[in-house]
A = this chain, B = another copy of it.
Amino acid sequence: MLNLSELEQLTAFADLGTLSKTAEELHISQPTLTRTMKQIEEAFGVPLFERGKNRIYLNETGLKAVEYARKLLYDAENAVRQVQTFHARLHTILVESCAPAPLWTLLPLLSENFPEQTISSRLVEIPSVIEDVTAGKCEIGILPFPINENTVACRPIIREELFVCVPKEHELAKKQKLTLSALNGFNCLLRSEIGFWNELCREKMPASRFLVQTDEFAFEELARESSLPCFTTNLAENMYDILEERKRIPVMDKEANVTYHMIYKKQKKEYHTIEEQLRKKDRQ
A43 interfacial contact with B, CB 8 Å: yes
User: Given the interface contacts A72-B79, A75-B72, does A84 sit within 8 Å of B46 by beta carbon?
Assistant: yes
Are A64 and B76 touching (Cβ within 8 A)? no
What is the CB-to-nearest-CB distance from A222 to chain B, in angstroms, rounded to a whole number? 47
Of A3-11, A171-179, A226-234, A242-250, the one contacting chain B is A3-11
Residues in B with CB closer than 8 Å to A48 are 83
A65 interfacial contact with B, CB 8 Å: yes
Residues in B with CB closer than 8 Å to A84 are 44-46
What is the CB-to-nearest-CB distance from A66 to chain B, in angstroms, rounded to a whole number? 10
Interface residues on A, range: 20 to 34
User: In the bound complex, how far is the Cα of B84 from the Cα of A95, in angstroms?
Assistant: 51
User: In the bound complex, how far is the Cα of B79 from the Cα of A40, in angstroms?
Assistant: 12
Are A2 and B80 touching (Cβ within 8 A)? yes
A199 interfacial contact with B, CB 8 Å: no
Chain A contact residues, majority secondary structure: helix
Are B3 and A47 touching (Cβ within 8 A)? no
User: In the bound complex, how far is the Cα of B72 from the Cα of A4, in angstroms?
Assistant: 11
Are B80 and A43 touching (Cβ within 8 A)? yes
User: In the bound complex, how far is the Cα of B42 from the Cα of A80, in angstroms?
Assistant: 11
Are A83 and B64 touching (Cβ within 8 A)? yes
Residues in B with CB closer than 8 Å to A50 are none
A210-226 contact mask (Cβ, 8 Å, vs B): 1 or 0: 00000000000000000
What is the CB-to-nearest-CB distance from A154 to chain B, in angstroms, rounded to a whole number? 27
A-B contact pairs, 13 of them (CB 8 A): A1-B5, A2-B76, A3-B5, A4-B4, A44-B80, A45-B84, A46-B84, A60-B86, A60-B90, A64-B86, A65-B79, A68-B79, A72-B75
Residues on A facing B (Cβ under 8 Å): 1-5, 8, 43-48, 60-61, 64-65, 68-69, 71-72, 75-76, 79-80, 82-84, 86-87, 90
